[in-house]
A and B are shown apart, each in its own frame.
Chain A
Amino acid sequence: MSSDTPVIELKSVKKSFGPVEVLKDVNFSVRAGEVTALVGDNGAGKSTLIKGLAGIQPYDAGTILFEGKPVELHSPRQSADLGIDVVYQDLALCDNLDIVHNMFLGREAAHTGVLDEGHMESEAANTLTSLSVKTVKSVRQKVARLSGGQRQTVAIARAVLWNNKVVILDEPTAALGVAQTEQVLQLVRRLADAGKAVIIISHNLQDVFAVADRIYVLYLGKMTAAVKKSETNQADVVGYITGAKTQEVGA
């Protein structure tokens, strides 16, 4: 795909909760093969922006272009059908099920109503192998027994298994230790290298600078900066986040 056609492009997106304007004319675009970071302080509107893309909380106004074509996102199913997947902070895994079951949750393979466990097991194992995941020993372990990093890995692998075009990661490293953070960030990078458009939301600027290609900053519902990582530094981004600096974002 030519780099000038973003996979997702939001134009003048608005969202209010009663009198509170959470998103004010926000423009946002993500490209395939890139990691796009979305940063901002608490209450800046990051979650609201993502919930709109996930179809959980539709925007009030604005245009959504998916691969250049205008689309509507009014339900999680519409987002899923387009290939947009969100890996949530609380991971949205079922602790009582094993890795295979979780990766195929809601989309189980079945022959005439009977689950095809063998097929699901090998697909899950292949996906983990293709992502060079080495931390998971058995795909038949219960998710309850996995570490935070392994759980995050399973959640991300699920997005890969379903061949999604856009993978949105909400604070993927928030609860992880140093080594596990490193593993997850490598996984995020591999995801983008495999041609996916990756959006990562994070408070940790170190992680953002380690993995992102482009950085978008939300400040009180406005997109105050959209910069390439190579053209900025941490101090500037902190300035955008706290509102000390602004860069007018046109398109």
Chain B
Amino acid sequence: MSNQNAIQTGNEGSFLDAGRNYIARVKGGETGSLPALLGLVILATIFAVANPIFLKPINFANLLTQTATVTTLAMGLTFVLLLGEIDLSAGVTAGLSAAFLAITMSEYGVAWPIAAVIAISMGMLIGFLIGLLVAKVGIPSFVVTLAAFLAFQGLQLVVVGKGGLIGIDAPPILAIMNTPMPLAFGWILLAIVFLSYLGTSIYSRRQRTSSGQQNKPLGILIFRSATILVVGAGFVSFLNVERGANPAVTSLKGVPYVVPIVLILLAVGTFVLNRTKFGRHVYAVGGNAEAARRAGIQVSRVRITVFMISSTFAGIAGILMASRQASVDAAAGRSIVLNAIAAAVVGGVSLFGGRGRLSDAVIGGFVIAVIDNGLGLIGLASGLNLAITGGVLLLAATADAITSRKSRTS
């Protein structure tokens, strides 16, 4: 069916045209996570030169588990940031969820899957209450979540006990962050990721072709698939190398279990944001809440839901945190929320709402973790480490502010 429309869809042209379009978009300010990716490469190069340990498999695996908690938190926060709101309580919500997980298991003898569900549901409930206060009562999210940030620290102290520490001994919970998967699982994981990307892409191309619409050049699909395959294979083979200090005693090789967990959260969240009505409404409310309201979107329902999502992700992050430390203390989660916000913003999620993706949060999470990890290896004082992280955040926020101003005035 040849439809002679005068209106184009932006998919015309060759692979090279698509490349040129992308460059034009970047120049126009739609940089996405490109600066963060470039920064990541530069930082990694500097650290690798400064200290060869940085590139060792053991350090890479460490990096992954270090960043997993912050990244999970940052992905949840992205939903809130997309509305131009903020959730300062996500970190302590994670801490509280971790405490509930530990207590239900150690004091009430609850099985670990049920304890995990309780911990995540509690996160969801907290998000619902925060969302209600923001959307229905109309308190700025900064204040609601700051109040929650303070109050939950107190609650955490009461629950855990001052100076207390609750141990985690359920092996499956501990395995998430500390045990690698069997070597074959890494390759199976890569195959699943690759085939699902290829499958969904080919499906949507078929759909467009059958309704007589232009497809993006085939070259883009091939390029992206090849990138996934090459980068993924690099990751898996690198993580499958023996990294134990003493392999004869304890062998340590394989992709950590947390990797598929984060990938599933990323895939589901991205699907919700890009392919569902709710996701579209999140972007609409973040772009122009009044326009969304006039278009019949129930803005307060969207608002409550994003806070629920953020806190649910925080609940999951709490489990990851508990797994990594094998315990929960009274201060758990207090400091990570700022790193998570920094991760999202550095990755390219706008603080002004309406712009950003979950993958940005993941890339930003890597940048923050690499700075932390690399500066530690170089042996810089931790004060300087914080100052540099702060500087990077400020840089990203500046770029965000300039881009937003540009798109408002042009």
Contact = CB atoms under 8 A, between A and B. Distances in A.
Please indicate whether A and B come from the same complex rather than being unrelated chains: yes
Interface of A: 76-77, 80, 86, 88, 90-97, 101, 105-108, 110, 113-115, 118-119, 121-122, 124-126, 128-129, 133-134, 136-142, 144-145
A94 B291 contact: yes
A9 B281 CA distance: 35
A80 B296 contact: yes
The residue among A108, A119, A134 with the most chain B CB atoms within 10 A of its own CB is A108
Contacts of B253: none
Contacts of A95: 287-288, 354, 407-408
Interface of B: 3, 5-11, 28, 30, 207-208, 211-213, 275-277, 280-281, 283-284, 286-288, 290-292, 294-297, 354-355, 407-408, 410
Nearest to B354: A96
Given A106-B297, A107-B296, A119-B211, A138 B286 contact: no
B407 A108 contact: no
Contacts of B284: 94, 97, 101, 105-106
A139 B275 CA distance: 18
B277 A139 contact: no
Contacts of A122: 3, 211-213
Contacts of B283: 94, 96-97, 101
Contacts of B11: 140
Contact of B295 (A96, A106, A121, A145): A106
A93 B290 CA distance: 9
B280 A136 contact: no
A94 B288 CA distance: 5
A97 B30 CA distance: 12
The residue among A105, A107, A126 with the most chain B CB atoms within 10 A of its own CB is A105
Contact of B211 (A113, A118, A137, A141): A118
A149 to B, nearest CB: 15
Contact of A129 (B6, B207, B213, B288): B6
B291 A121 contact: no
Contacts of B354: 94-96
B292 to A, nearest CB: 7
Given A105-B284, A121-B213, A76 B294 contact: yes
A145 B211 CA distance: 27
Nearest to B280: A108
A118 B30 CA distance: 24
B57 to A, nearest CB: 40
Contacts of A86: 294
The list of the 7 closest CB pairs from A to B, nearest first, reads A106-B295, A94-B287, A140-B10, A96-B287, A96-B354, A106-B296, A92-B291
Nearest to A108: B277
12 contacts: A90-B290, A95-B287, A96-B283, A97-B280, A97-B283, A97-B287, A107-B296, A114-B276, A115-B275, A115-B277, A140-B9, A144-B408
Given A139-B8, A144-B407, A92 B213 contact: no
Contacts of B276: 110, 113-115
Given A77-B296, A96-B355, 10 more contacts: A86-B294, A93-B288, A95-B407, A96-B283, A97-B280, A101-B284, A106-B292, A108-B277, A115-B276, A139-B10
Contacts of B212: 122
